[in-house]
A and B are shown apart, each in its own frame.
Chain A
Amino acid sequence: MAVDPWADKLDAYLDGELAPSDAVAMAGHLRVCPDCTAAALQHAQLKLVVRTSGKRYEPDSQLRNKIAKIIRGKTQSSSGWRHFGWQWRFAALAALIVLVAGAVINSRLLSERAVRRQVYSELADLHVATLASSTPVDVLSSDRHTVKPWFQGKIPFTFNLPELQGTEFTLLGGRVTYLRQTPGAQLIFRTRQHDISAFIFPEASGAAAGLPSETGSQLSFDVETWEQNGLRYFLIGDVNHNDIRALSKLLRDAG
């Protein structure tokens, strides 16, 4: 039996509860003290047999399942409000997404509307300015075979003009114009003493890209716009809507 004071620390050493410095000192002591080494071996053996014998009872799997079921049941019922909260949170999140999406869409719509208004406003200005000008057109001709070639080299696209014979429309001529820094063609048609401007721009230029085809009134002018063969057409004039629609049909058929 160990008789030196180290014996008191044997259990703590074997339990891994000694401070690191004490454990090192104890290990050193065990190397030189046969009595303490023998005692340590006995203590370790006792620990081992208790550990082995102590792991004896195993629960019935039914008990485990029963308890697990109770836990799940109570957890779910007690967290019902939490789940309810999650539903609300989910709903709130969904509502937020809808709001944000709505705001984005609305913002986009507002932006598109602003662009459209800006485009129509600019076109109206061009139309009025052209009509007020002493030289409203740069190519003065009612012949489509004269007007169309005149634009060659002046604008980066070409277009077709309709045969107006037998219609209520007369071609007065054309000029190069600019919409949002994009060159295009402005053609002046007349019907019953009313002038209509037809603007043509490349759709891809972005000057008026993405505008929906539509008919309506803008700034007290009747307008119509559409996209065809990569070109954006605008008709604007102080005529009735049927005239705008009729000219539109002629141009579409020619395009």
Chain B
Amino acid sequence: MRWILVGVDESEPAAQAARFAAGLAAGAGAGVRLAYVSVPNLLPERPYAKLVKEMAEQEARSVQGFLAKVAAGLQGCPVQTRHASGPPAETFADLAEEGDVWFAAVGSRGRNAVSRVLLGSFADRVVHVCRKPVLVVR
């Protein structure tokens, strides 16, 4: 099975990209794989090991809840979810390297969007570094 890897965050453009991808997937017998990338916090492990671990666990629970909610809103195709952490675009591009990823899809702007910016930094960087085809949804 081929999957469209969709980068999602809590923004409306991301939700729109997920719906658009689901429509494409439904028509093509493919599935949608929602990917959420958390940015790791910059606390040093050593004195903060416990706190860092707790924060990561909390983030994981919160992201799983969010992804489940987005997945529940999509219709017509199988949906999978992925959660990874690291530099957002590079980590997303790495997820796109998986052999069953057909192409990647991203919203043109994310949650930190400035309205006059037509293409957000995440989408911009993804189209630069991703080796799979990238669909920028508007």
Answer yes or no: are A and B bound together in one complex: no
